[in-house]
A and B are shown apart, each in its own frame.
Chain A
């Protein structure tokens, strides 16, 4: 659901810390008609310019909080923290040097676990402009 629109073209940029680029981010939306607990995320996989992003370098920011992506996948992650429908979830990739300003091909695979239908696998590919 919403597959073509889950990778937004808003807020793509390098992230700076103390004068150095330490990573970059993209903003994604949920592939469903309602919000789900973050514990229902099965996978967020990114490819940038054809190269797979190491999931261990990813952070997830949503509704004022930040989590290590790998923590979302653990059994004891709380179930009452929701990915709000229609609201962006920022995926931060920690990478020295960030990303070069300009256009990059980004491929997203998003898998969310559902109640009454099988896990929804959505893919979205876009050329995004990074600041």
Chain B
């Protein structure tokens, strides 16, 4: 046993958008190149005719998962609370939505659903009888800028401690352990008018754990006549949680699965073939998860591609290679 590796097919979204990889090619890549079995999906990205897929789609899904001997770990579900043009969805409408998604997850063989950070706990509690009946756990995503030791986490922990339910838990996103702005987004800012000097100031502000206003002040003081693009870099600071990796150890019993968020895997200096994401602290987080006895999945969630879509096709990110590098790192840190 030990920590397991998987991939959220979110990572291959661009390949899907440009029709270069279909569902089969994505699953085959995870099995044959990454040598692992964990699959996570975004319902509205992967499931044709969501929320009512055809039997043909569902049969084909199961055939693919069987062919490559894969495990359906987590299905990421949404609510689109603004889908009705004339009103914001009520909590009851949200629960109805979630209940439908839980049934769909079960139909596709998923063990868990991931709810967004913004989903109120009472909506999850309304869906709890369905989750129990269909044996699907619900995990609330803990996503930056929310911290790993904040209210979103404590209210789940308290509820679980009080009720002993196994069907509500956490899906931490590795982005909460991000300590620097990701490089692709900084490169994007520099292509759109920000100066390298402002970028360096903002990186420094992050390492000093400044807040957005303080970072903005540092840019104003450090640069003569800063542009709007320079000043907007301060928002990067707002997006960081500054969470402490050690804090995840005690949360292990509540974790449903983990989003392995990353933006860019670069070779570690002096270590050919070994890669890291320079903006997220994976090493200390995985060490803490091991100490806590975590045996669930970390599913790669590559998000660097979105900062490289402002130029021509020749500049698009290589999602497949990025995920391969991510799994080199995961396997090494897990100690497979």
Contact = CB atoms under 8 A, between A and B. Distances in A.
A80 B52 contact: yes
A37 interface: yes
A39 B83 contact: yes
Contact of B85 (A29, A77, A84, A86): A77
A86 B19 contact: yes
A115 B81 contact: yes
Contacts of A2: 17, 309
Residue of B17, B116, B306 with most chain A CB atoms under a 10 A cut-off: B17
Given A4-B311, A35-B50, A82-B49, A115 B78 contact: yes
A105 interface: no
Contacts of A101: none
Nearest to A83: B44
A75 B85 CA distance: 5
B10 interface: yes
Contact of A34 (B48, B78, B117): B78
Interface string B22-59: 00000000000000000000111100111110000000
A64 B44 CA distance: 18
Interface string A1-37: 1111100000000000000000000000100011111
Nearest to B10: A33
A113 interface: yes
Contacts of A33: 10, 13, 42, 45, 306
Contacts of B309: 1-5
Interface string A69-98: 000011101011010111000000000000
List the 4 closest A-B pairs by CB distance, nearest first.
A34-B44, A34-B45, A75-B86, A35-B44
Interface of B: 10, 13, 16-19, 42-45, 48-52, 78-86, 116-118, 306, 309-312
30 contacts: A3-B309, A4-B310, A4-B311, A33-B10, A33-B42, A33-B306, A34-B42, A34-B78, A36-B83, A39-B85, A40-B80, A40-B82, A63-B49, A73-B85, A74-B85, A75-B84, A79-B80, A79-B84, A84-B48, A84-B49, A85-B17, A85-B44, A86-B17, A86-B19, A113-B82, A115-B78, A115-B82, A115-B116, A115-B118, A116-B116
